[in-house]
Amino acid sequence: MAANAVPKVLTIAGTDPSGGAGIQGDLKTFSALGAYGMTVVTALVAQTTTGVTGIHEVPAAFVAQQLDTLLTDVPADAVKIGMLGDADLIKAVAAALDTYRPPHVVLDPVMVAKSGDRLLPADAVSELRRTLLPRADLITPNLPEAADLLGEPQASGLPEMHAQAARLRALGARQVLLKGGHLDGDTCVDVLATPEGTIELAAPRVPTRNTHGTGCTLSSAIAALRPRHDDWPSAVRAAKDYLTQALRAADSLGVGHGHGPVHHFHNAW
Ligand SMILES: Nc1ncnc2c1ncn2[C@@H]1O[C@H](COP(=O)(O)OP(=O)(O)O)[C@@H](O)[C@H]1O
Ligand SMILES: Cc1ncc(COP(=O)(O)O)c(N)n1
């Protein structure tokens, strides 16, 4: 990609009518970071800041049709994959990755919403592990998702996070960003494991309950930024800085009665 070109970035994910997470949160992130956003919807989700009331899945064949229709016209410079509601959807997305071979595939292994509602059935986790981890350039599990993928107890500190990130790489993901937001402390430390080594990325913990969409924002920010950065550590660092700023602005929004969304704002206007 030419240095001054606008990256065309695709999100494959479910919806959030409240606009904080899923496809809607991803598109806001892409725009805020100067990327051109494209979408393939995997599920219509009736949800808001307080929880999920229903899921209407898109048939796998129609997700495949959306991917074929889009990617034969517009190649993606990066792809973010979020909610995939069952094993057939996982297989359809894997097939499209094999056909179109987009660069920079970021997989957020979404399993449970902030409200505690399940977005991926437990019996589809092994399909995600077997089929999509080896096709991802970077996976971005939170602590419960990493534990589920590995079939292990959740990490309770940084040494265990380092060990689990390495074991997730051994399952086939080329890079692993194990997110530490669910631990306590004044800083939120994530662990990034790459073939070149493992680093810790820290940011101050923002004192807010408005964290709906943090995982979606981080993974889509990485996808938006990766085409313009030389390597994963640099893109992930910039994406985490962006997320911390969006969390700092979250309380000014006042959206909903539960965990409100992070705020993407542009200063230019
Ligand atoms: N209150 C917070 N302040 C700053 N960063 C946070 C906060 N909560 C989470 N993060 C960061 O947001 C990202 C996603 O958080 P995490 O809670 O670990 O995953 P998920 O949103 O998928 O459950 C991580 O980079 C984490 O460190
Ligand atoms: C469609 C969809 N995808 C993902 C999430 C997870 O959101 P979070 O970023 O808060 O973990 C969500 N609530 N809805």
Is 187 part of the annotated catalytic residue set?
no
Q: Evaluate whether 44 touches 16 at the Cβ level (below 8 Å).
A: no
Among residues 71, 146, 76, the alpha carbon closest in space to that of 104 is found at 76
Specify the CATH number for the domain of residue 159: 3.40.1190.20
Q: Which ligand is nearest to the CA of 218?
A: 1
Q: Evaluate whether 176 touches 168 at the Cβ level (below 8 Å).
A: yes
Q: Evaluate whether 191 touches 198 at the Cβ level (below 8 Å).
A: yes
Please indicate, yes or no, if residue 206 is contained in any of the structural domains.
Answer: yes
Amino acid (one-letter) located at 99: T
Please indicate, yes or no, if residue 121 is contained in any of the structural domains.
Answer: yes
pTM: 0.97
Please indicate, yes or no, if residue 124 is contained in any of the structural domains.
Answer: yes
Residue matched to tokens 């940084």: 158
Please indicate, yes or no, if residue 237 is contained in any of the structural domains.
Answer: yes
- What residues make up the domain containing 197? 8-252
Q: How many domains are contained in the chain?
A: 1
Any ligand 2 atom below 6 A from CB of 259: no
User: In 10 A of CB 225, how many CB atoms?
Assistant: 25
Any ligand 1 atom below 6 A from CB of 240: yes
Q: Evaluate whether 235 touches 226 at the Cβ level (below 8 Å).
A: yes
Please indicate, yes or no, if residue 76 is contained in any of the structural domains.
Answer: yes
User: Which residue lies with its CA nearest to atom 16 of ligand 1?
Assistant: 181
From 215, 217, 240, 260, active-site residue: 215
Please indicate, yes or no, if residue 172 is contained in any of the structural domains.
Answer: yes
CA distance 28 to 18: 12
Q: Cα 259 vs. chain centroid, distance in angstroms?
A: 18
Any ligand 1 atom below 6 A from CB of 140: no
CA distance 51 to 235: 31
CA distance 109 to 162: 18
Please indicate, yes or no, if residue 258 is contained in any of the structural domains.
Answer: no
And the tokens for 139? 């996976």
269 residues of the chain, pLDDT tens digit each: 776 799 999 999 999 999 999 999 999 999 999 999 999 999 999 999 999 999 999 999 999 999 999 999 999 999 999 999 999 999 999 999 999 999 999 999 999 887 788 889 888 999 999 999 999 999 999 999 999 999 999 999 999 999 999 999 999 999 999 999 999 999 999 999 999 999 999 999 999 999 999 999 999 999 999 999 999 999 999 999 999 999 999 999 989 999 999 999 866 56
Q: Which atom of ligand 2 is nearest to the CA of 212?
A: 10
Pocket probe for ligand 2: among 58, 114, 115, 219, the residue whose CB has the most ligand atoms within 8 Å is: 114
